[in-house]
Structure 1
């Protein structure tokens, strides 16, 4: 298991973990992860051809009995304070992309919030923003 990871890896680990927290990676969520990596400025220096490899790394770590805690530790150590809200926002985007947020996803969001030491009001605003973006008529 790597000791340190890049900012981009941490953000991808966050999204992949969110997608896989219910036991399988959803195709809609995977497409959302790819789209976010291709379009967001935080990934401008990331080689998109590495996305699958980084996603697989996250999956391998998560297979361990302590994998979720390990992923959260890697993410929190890798991210500068100014990017912790970004990581949470990306997790929320992935969770909302298939228009169904389950109990396990909510549990992971709470764990992520705590690991990143984010304010509950800030995370609530990020969650509400995603709900508004994915709203149907």
Structure 2
């Protein structure tokens, strides 16, 4: 497999979740941009590459076993201490449009298994992400 940067891997995770339901909507795209701009894990990231990375990821997803290929690249590129960060980013993107499609749930679960994140840790990350989007 070709290795990608950890920044690219995290962007790929967000793109995969956003594209899971067949459409990358404006809220999800804005969230991806906001997250790459504001989080410390993206320090040094060239935001001018965001569109190209999204297109690269989308092209891989179009191939046979595209999701498995993307997740393989992600796992290879990320140090283990960023696995939970990747999972949390996936949740953030999925929750931005106030609904999580079944396809997004499936992709997130596949990501969890691929990265070896245990169910208890995943549940904690999910609860924290959900809490951010609660309305009164």
TM-score with structure 2 length normalisation? 0.98
Partner of 2:44: 45
**Could you tell me how far apart the structure 2 residues matched to 1:120 and 1:80 are?**
20
Structure 1 unmatched runs, 5+: none
Structure 2 matches for 1:1-137, cutoff 5 A?
Answer: 3-137=2-136
**What RMSD in Å do the two structures reach over aligned CA positions?**
0.8
Alignment partners' CA distance in 2, 1:128 and 1:97: 14
Q: Which runs of 4+ in 1 moved over 4 A?
A: none
- Number of positions where the alignment pairs a residue of Structure 1 with one of Structure 2: 136
Distance 2:64 2:29 in 1: 24
Q: Distance in 2 between matches of 1:129 and 1:31?
A: 20
Deviations 1:64-95 (A, max 9, x none): 12110100100011111100000000000000
Q: TM-score, normalising length from structure 1?
A: 0.97
Q: Which runs of 5+ in 2 are unaligned?
A: none
Q: 2: CA distance between counterparts of 1:77 and 1:48?
A: 22
1:41-65 per-position Cα deviation (integer Å, ceiling 9, x unaligned):
1111111111111111101101112
